[in-house]
Structure 1
Amino acid sequence: MFEVRYTDLAARIGRLETPHGVVETPAFVPVVHPVRQTISPQFLKDMGFGLVITNAYITLKQYGDEARRRGIHDIIGFDGVVMTDSGGYQVLEYGSVEVEPATMAQFEKDIKSDIPIPLDKPTGYGLPYERAKEYVDITLENSKETLRVVGDTDAVWVGPVQGAEHFDLVEKSAMALDGMGFQFMALGSPVELMEAYEFATLARMIARAKKAVPSKPIHLFGAGHPLTIPVAIALGCDTFDSASYMLYAKDDRYMHPGGTVRLGELAYLPCQCAVCVSYTADELRALPKERRMLEVAKHNLHVLKAEVDATKQAIMDGRLWEYVMQKARAHPKLMEAVQLFASDEFGYLAEGTAAFKEKAIFFFDAIDQHRPEARRYRRLTSEFRSQKKTLMLFPEGEVHPFYSTRGFRELVKKFPGAQLATYNPFLGVIPAEISDVFPASHNVTARVERDSSNYPTFVESLKSFTANNNFDEIITVADAFMKQAMAEAKLNARVEDYSDHVIERL
């Protein structure tokens, strides 16, 4: 049903099989209104959106038995894969809907939805714990009733995970739905979190759901901002839906890779999609309102699809960490979220990160010490044991591996019998014997002045490496960073000042 082809961090490029074909994930899922859809579903299909989501509750109210007879694909005019929301959004907005969960489940089965969702009770954001728990329990009961009603089916039924900022409820919800046998999970209630720019809370919510169901595909409701897409994918979300492309267009909001901007603020259109090459900014603003809304919505769809494709390429290249960090710098609240990647709560990001990558990884600033490849290498060096009694530490150079350099050969002559190692602020101590192991042999580090107090992992690597080996003497060619780190680690060593010609001077 769900086959994973490539991974990086918790992101997955996969194949999701449904009754109406295969969907490649990660995928943005445009919301299609079953009655008043401005942009034709066929246009969406032609753009490359093979999966759309529509509202089964509105379809039931508007079409009733006609929808049962024709099927949802004919109703909305889309021959690709269709996901149906059973009315949870209306419940969130209005408190309830005039339909029972069993009736809604049977209707979604009757209209042949490929990826149907049971009628849930969204917790939203800011709900007191006891009320949120009540809503989670209602959703779980509705979901259990749904499976009883629909019985055997080819459709990919989705388990709606609720709980929002109450992370234990998120985990409870996900585990219960997994136990019921749902093939696909969907995280509810993120829209209000994103509207409040609570990206850190959203990240923790995703992480808790992934902890409960690490292998099953996960859908994220209401994620339609170009900045949130790479982060959501990196955290493990496989699909995400939104009507943002149209809602933003109605408000004259023009999407771009770094966010959105009011159309009235643009002197130029910084895009090369079919819309933007057809108009100047002034010409686009001058269009009649309905036509302008349509054109901006088409542009917004282009940006969303391009963002997904760029993220998928970053997965293929093994550069998703770099891409996410680049995107996070577009907004401080998003950077708050990615700073959480340093915590053990997000240790699961390492599971999908390759042990070796063909391309060198990049180290820029302090957050990069926590990327999975660096963590993995520091664990390796913590297990390294040397039989030598003298340790010679030298700053990492531009050439890798260390043992292939002229400097290494010179140090061997000057310090025969010593354990030679280089050091890197992100990787810690790098013994010469394993300096050819990824990523010690495959990294590019920005050469800037650093404060070791911002690199606790380096100080810990230095302390553990020296504590785990029985060196009688430690000699360190120390730059300013290393001198500060040695003081923090309380390392007793003979210090040689760093210079470009330090080997000759020694």
Structure 2
Amino acid sequence: MSSFSFDLIAHDPDTRARVGRFQTPHGVINTPMFMPVGTRATVKGVTPAQLREIGAEVVLANTYHLFLRPGADIVREAGGLHRFMGWDRPILTDSGGFQVFSLADTLKLTDDGVEFRSIVDGARHFWTPEDNMAVQEALGADIIMQLDQCPPYPAEKPMVAEAVRRSAAWAARCKTAHSREDQALFGIVQGGVFDDLRAESVARCTEIGFPGYGIGGYSVGEPHDLMLESLAPVASALPADRPRYLMGVGNPTTMLEAIGLGVDLFDCVLPTRTARTGTAFSSEGRMNLKNARYTRDHGPIDPACSCPVCATYTRSYVRHLVTTKEMLGSTLLSIHNLHVLIDLARSARVAIEEGRYSAFLEQWRNGPGHDDY
């Protein structure tokens, strides 16, 4: 693991927020950081050059989808994900476990592994933790995630307890099976919204020991306040010298609240998925560009935004693209929405370094857009 290091360079005096530098074989990730999701080895509608322009330092890809198409062997033959998708900065692959367990009506689960049906051709596949590690090693991302069991919300406590136990057992097997020194394998904390199960999962996961930790099982339907209440003790209990990754969160308000609790990394499809519906993030909340009020509005999407879209295009033009279903409309809104989250994380880093994150967060809470997220 000599290719990896995580150095904490600033702490906010009034919150648990911190600034770090996570060194990987393909460059540094400055934390806190939002990571765009490129499920099938592409961030929908956005090129690698455009991602670099808006400050993206790391992108995600999905093991489940790439396992089905084009296949891990094809990605390996291409030289790994970095060459395959033309991205020379860090990449993280999730295990695909969330996707597998979202297909609950088609899977068969045992302690040995999980059997699931392909959404492509209906074929049945079986993954053990060892199989999953082999797939992620073939894909070749810098950061990879253990195979875990992600229970839904709501779920009965015995079911969540079983997921904690099984995920911990699989974490140990993933660590034993993983062999690439140029990859950092992260463990994942589960436990739903049950504080005692979250604490048990943290203890089990940290006992095994990983260079970083994912916090899973959130953003699956639980109330926002309950999530933050449950997240606080988890984040504080994880090792301070390792990056903490809150999986599947891209709501600006939730991201900023979680940064205040000591979380470092975030990802979500929300900014690009909402872009494809004609929705823009802004300092005043979400904007539906399909709205007729923007027909003759020749100002930028958000006057407070410094992204290349706001510097070049108007609300009127983007509305025209969206209402006529032109591809460029989704691309421009995706670039803008991703920039909003990446720049928000950058602003959070500055506030932490200057010792004013508490005031920064309070300003966001009281801002005009807070209630829209």
Verify same fold: TM over 0.5: yes
> What corresponds to 1:232 in structure 2?
258
> What corresponds to 2:311 in structure 1?
277
> What corresponds to 1:29 in structure 2?
35
Shift in alpha-carbon separation, 1:63–1:332, aligned structure 2, 3 A: closer
Shift in alpha-carbon separation, 1:35–1:306, aligned structure 2, 3 A: closer
> What corresponds to 2:65 in structure 1?
58
Match of 2:6 among 2, 6, 9: 2
Give the drift of 1:282. 2.1
Count residues with an aligned counterpart: 332
Q: Please list every run of 5 or more consecutive structure 2 residues that lacks an aligned counterpart in the other structure.
A: 108-115, 117-124
Shift in alpha-carbon separation, 1:46–1:270, aligned structure 2, 3 A: closer
> What corresponds to 2:212 in structure 1?
184
Match of 2:335 among 298, 312, 330: 298
Give the drift of 1:328. 2.1
Instruction: Tell me which structure has the larger Cα radius of gyration.
Output: 1
Instruction: Give distance in 1, aligned partners of 2:132 and 2:247.
Output: 19
Instruction: Give distance in 2, aligned partners of 1:166 and 1:18.
Output: 34
Identity %: 28
Give the drift of 1:91. 2.4
Alignment of 1:20-419 (within 5 A): 20-34=26-40, 37-64=44-71, 65-69=73-77, 70-95=79-104, 96=107, 97=116, 98=125, 99-151=127-179, 153-193=181-221, 198-215=223-240, 216-265=242-291, 267=294, 268=297, 269-271=301-303, 272=305, 273-287=307-321, 288-289=324-325, 290-330=327-367
Give the drift of 1:75. 2.2
Instruction: Give distance in 2, aligned partners of 1:231 and 1:331.
Output: 17
> What corresponds to 2:121 in structure 1?
none
Shift in alpha-carbon separation, 1:275–1:332, aligned structure 2, 3 A: closer
1:253-311 CA distances to partner (integer Å, 9 max, x unpaired)?
11013432212346453234321233332221111422211111111112112211121
**What is the SS of the residue equivalent to 1:190?**
coil
Give the drift of 1:170. 1.3
Shift in alpha-carbon separation, 1:209–1:331, aligned structure 2, 3 A: farther
Q: Are the counterparts in 1 of residues 246 and 266 from structure 2 also a CA contact under 8 Å? A: yes
Q: Are the counterparts in 2 of residues 88 and 121 from structure 1 also a CA contact under 8 Å? A: yes
Give the drift of 1:76. 2.2
The answer to which of 95-104 and 128-137 deviates more is 95-104
Please provide the CA RMSD for this pair.
Answer: 2.2
Give the drift of 1:173. 0.9
Instruction: Give distance in 1, aligned partners of 2:369 and 2:312.
Output: 34
Instruction: Give distance in 2, aligned partners of 1:143 and 1:118.
Output: 6
> What corresponds to 1:413 in structure 2?
none
Instruction: Give distance in 2, aligned partners of 1:314 and 1:327.
Output: 12
> What corresponds to 2:111 in structure 1?
none
Q: Are the counterparts in 2 of residues 34 and 76 from structure 1 also a CA contact under 8 Å? A: no
Instruction: Give distance in 2, aligned partners of 1:156 and 1:11.
Output: 23
Shift in alpha-carbon separation, 1:50–1:135, aligned structure 2, 3 A: same
Give the drift of 1:221. 1.0
**What is the SS of the residue equivalent to 2:46?**
coil
**What is the SS of the residue equivalent to 2:338?**
helix
Q: Please list every run of 5 or more consecutive structure 1 residues that lacks an aligned counterpart in the other structure.
A: 335-506
The answer to which of 231-240 and 83-92 deviates more is 83-92
**What is the SS of the residue equivalent to 1:264?**
coil
1:418-477 CA distances to partner (integer Å, 9 max, x unpaired)?
xxxxxxxxxxxxxxxxxxxxxxxxxxxxxxxxxxxxxxxxxxxxxxxxxxxxxxxxxxxx
Q: Are the counterparts in 2 of residues 226 and 258 from structure 1 also a CA contact under 8 Å? A: no
Shift in alpha-carbon separation, 1:214–1:100, aligned structure 2, 3 A: closer
Instruction: Give distance in 1, aligned partners of 2:269 and 2:137.
Output: 24
Instruction: Give distance in 2, aligned partners of 1:305 and 1:18.
Output: 19
Give the drift of 1:152. 6.2
1:183-211 CA distances to partner (integer Å, 9 max, x unpaired)?
11111122224xx5x22222122212123
Instruction: Give distance in 2, aligned partners of 1:61 and 1:332.
Output: 39
Q: Are the counterparts in 2 of residues 226 and 256 from structure 1 also a CA contact under 8 Å? A: no
Q: Are the counterparts in 2 of residues 227 and 257 from structure 1 also a CA contact under 8 Å? A: no
**What is the SS of the residue equivalent to 1:32?**
coil
TM-score with structure 2 length normalisation?
A: 0.83
Q: Which of 1 and 2 has higher RCO (CA within 8 Å, sep 6+)?
A: 2
Q: Are the counterparts in 1 of residues 280 and 289 from structure 2 also a CA contact under 8 Å? A: yes
**What is the SS of the residue equivalent to 2:210?**
coil
